[in-house]
Amino acid sequence: MPRITFVIPNFQGEKLLPACLDSVFSQETEQTFEIIVVDDCSTDGSIDLLKSAYPQVRVIINRKNSGCAASKNIGAAEAQGEFIAFLDNDIELHPDWIEAMLKRFETEGERLGCCASHILINGYKSLLNSTGGLVNLLGYAWDRGIFGQDTNSYSHNTQVMWACAAAMIVRRSIFEEIGGFDSVYEYLFDDVDLGWRMNLRDYGVAYEPHAIVHHHQNTVQGWKLVRRLYLYERNRLRNLIKNMESQTLKWIGPELRYHFLHRAQREFDNDSFSLAMRLSMIPRMVQALFWNAFHLRDTLRLRSEVQETRRLTDWQLMRAGVLCPFFGDPYIMEDPRIELEAAAANGRQKKLPRRIVMSTETNGALGSGWYSREFDVHGVYFRWMEKEAVLHMKGRKGKRHLVLHTLMSNPSDISRLSVSINGRSISSVEVPNYPSLAKIELPQDIEAGDWRVELKVEDTFSPRDVLGVEDHRNLGVAIAKVELS
């Protein structure tokens, strides 16, 4: 009997499957495993590829296109392993992925139901896709760290609400006990719902930072974005009705109505969408409401099952940090690939700013080495940098200084910050642990144009070691603004 069953839903994945399957077969492990590919009515050469190049893979062909969630359930029903590893067909695993994941199950014990991977976006050295997921009181779900840089913040295992189904492992007995995926979700929120129901029964969902995966993760543009918005709202509301306690639903009711209308208004006012897209978004959000009204009977039936078997209250989930006690949309960084693709389509380079303010959109000006934006007690936005950080800006003639508005640095010492532009060392300055201006004189012969500004701090610090707080980041200098003068 195999220890692990890999279940890979596939649709039109002829070009993606080889890299995915090869990464599975290249695992450095002695664990026995089987692979099941569930093909959802592909019309490309996926089936012929599997039969000719991967005869050891079991192939199940759906009679009709059933969606990703249903395909995963179909594969799981045929699984023989103690654990089921669900993979998207555009996933590539590091060779020690299996060992890292199973070690987490052994460490956590029999109550661990699911384990999330450390997922990076393929083609980028340190751009995050997911490190497990969280949910807030309005049911908005997000991947931790998505589109941010892979920093020390995500190098520690922790409990999460859900695991991204692109690459996760579940304990088969627990997966079957809670009824598997809800196939109605198609391809959004099925993994959120699964993790939420596991947490409600007090089965852990853990994140394993050493289980590294690369994910192609297609960007969604054009009319597909409208359908994605519809599915997001539709499935978010179904999740809330199924999994949240009655008193919590009653409490958030007014906020739920307000934020639904506010989101509709915001999407309509979004100038980055065409008028046709904006006009179609409102009806699709209304359709999400009517869909939930039409399917309310089925949702309430499932809700009854969920609430009868729950062991943890919403308050306990909030105390555990997996149900986040705030309203509104979570802050998610902009996907840098969208701008790069748009620039390539228009045959032009991205527009770089001459002044970078951490509280506003940076138009791709920030490179690697930055943590998510924060704000201090005075409401000033800033970002901590790591030991090394990169930003891009438009250099101009006649500007003699590069000015860095800094807020904080190493609490136990004065930090020294070195600056290079396009690989050329410019200067180094001392940065104190209080608001300050670091004014760096520019060489007279420096050329105007696109500048790659590299910042490097000699004496980084860990807040946990210096301040005694539970913050494992490796911090350099907190910067609020960078500009030319």
pLDDT (tens digit per residue) in 377-417: 666 788 888 888 888 888 877 778 888 888 888 888 888 99
Q: Are residues 33 and 138 in the same domain?
A: yes
Q: Are residues 261 and 383 in the same domain?
A: no
Does a structural domain hold residue 335? no
Nearest to 134 by CA among 305, 304, 302, 318: 318
Mean pLDDT across the chain, nearest whole number? 87
Does a structural domain hold residue 53? yes
Average pLDDT over residues 290-300: 95
- Give 201's pLDDT tier (boundaries 50, 70, 90): very high
Predicted pLDDT of residue 347: 44
Predicted pLDDT of residue 338: 61
Q: Are residues 59 and 169 in the same domain?
A: yes
Q: 29-43, 417-431, 466-480: which has the minimum mean pLDDT?
A: 466-480
Does a structural domain hold residue 59? yes
Does a structural domain hold residue 343? no
Predicted pLDDT of residue 155: 87
Q: Nearest 5°: CA angle at 143, between 267 and 464?
A: 125
> Considering the entire predicted model, what is its pTM?
0.74
Which token pair is 386?
Answer: 């790591």
Predicted pLDDT of residue 336: 67
Say how many CA atoms lie within 13 Å of 428 toward its Cβ.
Answer: 10
Which tens digit of pLDDT belongs to each residue from 247-257? Answer: 999 999 988 88
Q: Are residues 244 and 293 in the same domain?
A: yes
Does a structural domain hold residue 334? no
Q: Report which of residues 458 and 300 the model is more confident about.
A: 300
Does a structural domain hold residue 332? no
**End of a domain among 170, 189, 215?**
215
What percentage of the chain's residues is helix, strand, coil (to nearest 5)?
35, 30, 40
Nearest to 3 by CA among 67, 55, 81: 81
Does a structural domain hold residue 344? no
Q: Are residues 159 and 262 in the same domain?
A: no
Which token pair is 445?
Answer: 């012969």
Q: 270-274, 399-403, 437-441: which has the minimum mean pLDDT?
A: 270-274
Q: Are residues 210 and 282 in the same domain?
A: no
Q: Are residues 61 and 168 in the same domain?
A: yes
Phi, psi (rounded to 5 degrees) for 438 = -105, 105
CATH number at residue 191: 3.90.550.10
Is the pLDDT confidence value at 317 over 50?
yes
Q: Are residues 114 and 143 in the same domain?
A: yes
- Give 142's pLDDT tier (boundaries 50, 70, 90): very high
**End of a domain among 324, 340, 359?**
324
Q: Are residues 183 and 303 in the same domain?
A: no
Predicted pLDDT of residue 366: 80
Domain count, the chain: 3
Q: Are residues 191 and 234 in the same domain?
A: no
What residue numbers bound the domain in which 130 lies?
4-215
**End of a domain among 215, 245, 265?**
215
Positive or negative: CA dihedral 44, 48, 54, 55 = positive
Does a structural domain hold residue 211? yes
User: By three-state DSSP, how is residue 150 classified?
Assistant: coil
